[in-house]
Amino acid sequence: MQQPNEERFRHRDLNWLSFNERVLQEAEDHLNPLFERMKFLAIFSSNLDEYFRVRVSQLRQMKRVKKSIRKKLALRPSKITKQIIEEVKKQQDRFGKVYHDEIVPELAENGIHILDSEHYNTQQKEFVASFFQNKVQEKLRPIRLDLQKENELFLENSILYFLVTFQNEDHLAVVNIPVNDCGRFVMIKDTEEIHHITYLDEIIRHEMHHLFSEDEITGIFEIKLSRDAELYIDDIYSGVLAEKIYESLKQRTDGQPTRLLYDASMPKEVQKKIRKLLGLGKIDMMPGGKYHNFKDFMSFPDPTNNPKLHFEELPPLPHKNFEKSTNYFKTIAEKDQSIHFPFMSFAYLEKFLDQAANDEQVTHIKISLYRVADESQLTSSLMQALENGKEVTVFVEAKARFDEENNITWGRKFEEKGAHVIYSYPKVKVHSKIMLVCREEGEETQRYSYIGTGNFNAETSKIYCDHAIFTANKDITKEMDRLFKVLEGELIIPREKNLLISPFSTRQEFSRMIYNEIENAREGKKARIVAKMNSLEDEEMIDLLYKASQAGVEIRMLIRGFTSLIPGVKGLSENIYITSIVDRFLEHGRIYIFENGGEELMFYGSADWMNRNLNRRIEVISPILDEEIRQEFKDILTIQLNDNVKARIQDSEEKNEYVQRASGEPEIRSQYQIYEYLKERHTS
């Protein structure tokens, strides 16, 4: 039964707020240690900042489109933005409640007291005055504003400021809060049992009179402006795209304002003044608490060093084959090898590349880099390979949001050393996480490939749950070689039979497999689809899933982020059940299973079922051919499907309710159980 369009698809931006609510739930969850709850507050805050800079910014851009065109396209940016603001306000109220009513008191119970300037004692006031004079004052850039005159006020993106009001209501001042130079939190030394920490904001607030000694201050209110994060590049088809991106990065810091977060205690007349100064609309104003940029809580100090306030350590597990191997090529040639982050160390990947860089038989190394880390063992090995005379091809994604400058900088470094560096194509991103190594073995060239779900980044591998497989399979590595030739401009299409490669074949092959399940269901055969991904937005894929559900296909999904599909609707999606896991690590892997009439097909890779992943990105989805690895992936996915501690149900009402344990059922917290599963599998 076909439903009206509006009832069949959620708006992705509204459902994203449901995902961020799950992050907020982690801050509210007392199962998490105190400092980890604070980090979830930081993640929630950071997520929201990026959301306003990217998604809300795009809604604002839509408002520039003629109303008649918006109506034809069913675009309703003003309505959606209002709904976003309403939901964000509700979530921020919860945020304030958990911070003030739970986090601050629990810190105090553990001997850590957050001090505001009103409660400094005499000794603390002396410390604050000295700290201000010696470390802070020289970093301040006060801006005085006379409202009787023309003023040009520019606030940098996401930088904290104070708006200062005076007895003379025609005067205002703006003062920066130099967090990058001075840190956000300042320790005030006390006894070993009692520790006092104050915000840098409070130190400046307390000493503000030194900056305006001739004026009577009547109010000090913290503000923060978020700006549009898009890079608007004219005529992207002319010139070198990477250079245009590099040159246009400044636009991100002075882009259009998308939200002014302000202290809710700010009087309405003062709100009007700052709104006028910055050229904002009412919808751009977002009331908040006394402090902003809670993302800084990622660096909140723990002077107690109390392990009970943090997650327990989970040391990286040894890989049963790589751990004792001195020749990774031999190990991979004998059998495909899988690794799972963060449960296993990124060092296995680094060691493989190091061996390739120093192996006399290796002739070529080809790799795609989506988010390049700063100085790392991986980048050092690529440099070493160049010094050793290897042919190195590096595809650098110049449009990886917020990593463009670092990526292009590294691209230039590789070029200077003699690498063949390829940058982005217009309107296409290379999002795949792939590497190919060619090695002369006797009279033949043997290829080794690495296909992963996560970036080549040692730091993010510690917090992102990802999977990867090393293989010397001739069919897979041959198709990988063709893909790199496409990236290098030597081929137009990769002509793949095993891999699913966007934008060439991924949509068509996934669609074919879903239709196959539909046909099997109609013939009375068992029909089932299991899919784990980060986000689901592509309407064509969602419509296919609705058809499959109506045909009787059992569809089980794990979606960490947002989904535009509405599950559990009678006559539309009653056979679709979706859960989401938000826990200690960020779920990032993609795994797809199709029943296929009893001859199960299993895939993994870099692509979600989003329009961009299927149509506008180079993505690689690989079949899992090795039986042992297939079982390992399936076991891991099964554990996640059965999570009853950190899994939330994504239902038609978006209630974000936790999966409830049945009476007598054991607790399954999937990330910890996967760790134990891999520990037993690789160390027994």
Mean pLDDT of the chain: 89
In this prediction, residue 226 carries a pLDDT of 85
What is d(CA 187, CA 197) in angstroms, rounded to the nearest whole number? 5
Strand 657-658 to 647-649 pairing: antiparallel
Please report how many Cα atoms fall inside a 13 Å half-sphere around the Cα of residue 79, on the Cβ side. Answer: 6
Matching CATH topology for 337-495 and 502-683? Answer: yes
Determine the average pLDDT of the residues in 466-475.
98
In this prediction, residue 667 carries a pLDDT of 95
Among residues 225, 226, 228, 233, the alpha carbon closest in space to that of 54 is found at 228
Tokens representing residue 468 in the block: 């990867």
Q: Which residues contact 27 (CB under 8 A, 6 or more apart)?
A: 37, 38, 40, 41, 44, 95, 98, 103
Among residues 71, 69, 84, the alpha carbon closest in space to that of 17 is found at 84
Q: Is the pLDDT of residue 214 over 50?
A: yes
85 C-beta neighbours (distance < 10 Å), count: 17
Q: Is the pLDDT of residue 248 over 60?
A: no
Fold category of 337-495 in CATH: Endonuclease; Chain A (3.30.870)
* Three-state secondary structure call for residue 249: coil
Q: Is the pLDDT of residue 243 over 80?
A: no
Tokens representing residue 433 in the block: 């996480």
Q: Where are the beta strands (DSSP E) in 374-493?
A: 391-396, 420-422, 429-430, 433-441, 444-452, 464-471
Q: Where are the domains of the chain?
A: 5-309, 337-495, 502-683
Q: Is the pLDDT of residue 261 over 80?
A: yes
> Which residues are 227's β-sheet partners?
257
Determine the average pLDDT of the residues in 452-480.
95
- Indicate the annotated binding residues for Mg(2+): 371, 401
Catalytic residues: 431
What is d(CA 356, CA 337) in angstroms, rounded to the nearest whole number? 16
What is d(CA 59, CA 652) in angstroms, rounded to the nearest whole number? 24
Q: pLDDT tens across 357-392, in order? A: 999 999 999 998 877 666 689 989 999 999 999 999
In this prediction, residue 501 carries a pLDDT of 97
Fold category of 5-309 in CATH: polyphosphate kinase like (3.30.1840)
679 C-beta neighbours (distance < 10 Å), count: 15
**Is the Cβ–Cβ distance between 227 and 252 less than 8 Å?**
yes
Determine the average pLDDT of the residues in 284-295.
90
pLDDT grade for 601, boundaries at 50, 70 and 90? very high
Q: What angle do CA 112, 164, 91 make, to 5 degrees?
A: 55
- Indicate the annotated binding residues: 47, 371, 401, 464, 560, 588
Q: pLDDT tens across 171-198, in order? A: 999 999 999 999 999 999 766 678 999 9
**Is the Cβ–Cβ distance between 342 and 585 less than 8 Å?**
yes
Among residues 131, 150, 139, 144, the alpha carbon closest in space to that of 174 is found at 144
What is the distance between the terminal CA atoms of the chain, rounded to a whole angstrom?
Answer: 52
- Indicate the annotated binding residues for ATP: 47, 464, 560, 588
The CATH homologous superfamily to which domain 502-683 belongs is: Endonuclease Chain A (3.30.870.10)
Q: Is the pLDDT of residue 67 over 60?
A: no
Sign of CA dihedral 22, 23, 24, 30: positive
